[in-house]
Amino acid sequence: MALIGGTKKMRGYYEERFRDKDLTMLQGKYSVPLFWRSSVVAFAGCGLVSYKLINYHVSNLKYN
């Protein structure tokens, strides 16, 4: 079963918050070193889970 949530897929949602048969997801991460061991990180993503591919609707899009 495909899932959205956790530390790797769609950060910001609890692990396995959205779970179903099919998953479509797009996410990105950008990191800029500041100084010594510090950096600034930004991430964004959006995704859909559904029982069948034909049931995908933009209104059900989850984003972070």
Domain residues for the domain of 57 are 2-63
User: CA-CA-CA-CA torsion for 46, 59, 1, 21, nearest 10 degrees?
Assistant: -130
In this prediction, residue 21 carries a pLDDT of 84
The domain total for the chain is 1
Inter-residue contact 3 to 23 (CB < 8 Å): yes
In this prediction, residue 41 carries a pLDDT of 92
- Closest CA relative to residue 48, chosen from 61, 35, 38, 63: 61
In this prediction, residue 40 carries a pLDDT of 95
Q: What is the pLDDT of residues 18-54, one digit of tens each?
A: 888 888 889 999 999 998 889 999 999 998 888 887 7
pTM given for the model: 0.66
